[in-house]
Amino acid sequence: MLAAVGGAVVLSTIGIVAVVSLLLGAGRGTPTPAQPTSVAEDPGGAPSGVDSSGIADRLEAKMDEYRSLRDSGALWQRIPDNDFNRTALSAFLFFLTDMKVATIWGVDAEQAQEYDERMTMLEERFLAQQPLGDDIRITLEKQVFTYDGETGEGGFTPK
């Protein structure tokens, strides 16, 4: 008998909860999704009014310029074609790539100016055949690229 009373209490409680939730939810209707933001709005990226794509485009253009100069051989008319300069070119392109990737999260005007200045400094050092100032170690699928920013030594080695 006690089990029957307990079962009835449980069923009554479930029924009351179901009725209350139906009553409370009835006035809400179907929730409508929030309106999507336009592409021009950037809710979490660069501060409003900052053209972060400008620096990204300049970095990409500089990378394209040096890849084209390398591939055409014109770069090696300006500086000697040797291991030191080929390693420095790889490091230069890696540094530019690093800055370009960082622009994905947005940059303000001050950061964009720093990237422009750094790009110019790296290019000047590269063309003067001087070490670029920062070390790199990048592990790729089958090889590792290292660069010593103080000596300019490094290159690709098998993994």
Q: How far is residue 97's CA from residue 1's CA, in Å, rounded to a whole number? A: 78
Report domain extents, the chain.
Answer: 54-130
CA–CA separation, 53 and 104 (whole Å): 9
Cα separation, 97 vs 56, in Å, equals: 9
96: amino acid identity, one letter: L
Predicted pLDDT at 115: 95
Could you tell me how many residues make up the chain? 159
pLDDT at residue 37, rounded to an integer: 37
| Predicted pLDDT at 29 | 40
Residue 53: predicted pLDDT: 61
DSSP classification of residue 103: G
- Sort 26 into a burial class: Cβ within 10 Å, 0-12 / 13-18 / 19+: exposed
The whole-number pLDDT of residue 132 equals 97
pLDDT tens track, the chain, 159 positions: 444 444 444 444 444 434 334 333 434 343 333 343 333 344 444 444 345 569 999 999 999 999 999 999 999 999 999 999 999 999 999 999 999 999 998 899 999 999 999 999 999 999 999 999 999 999 999 999 999 999 999 999 999
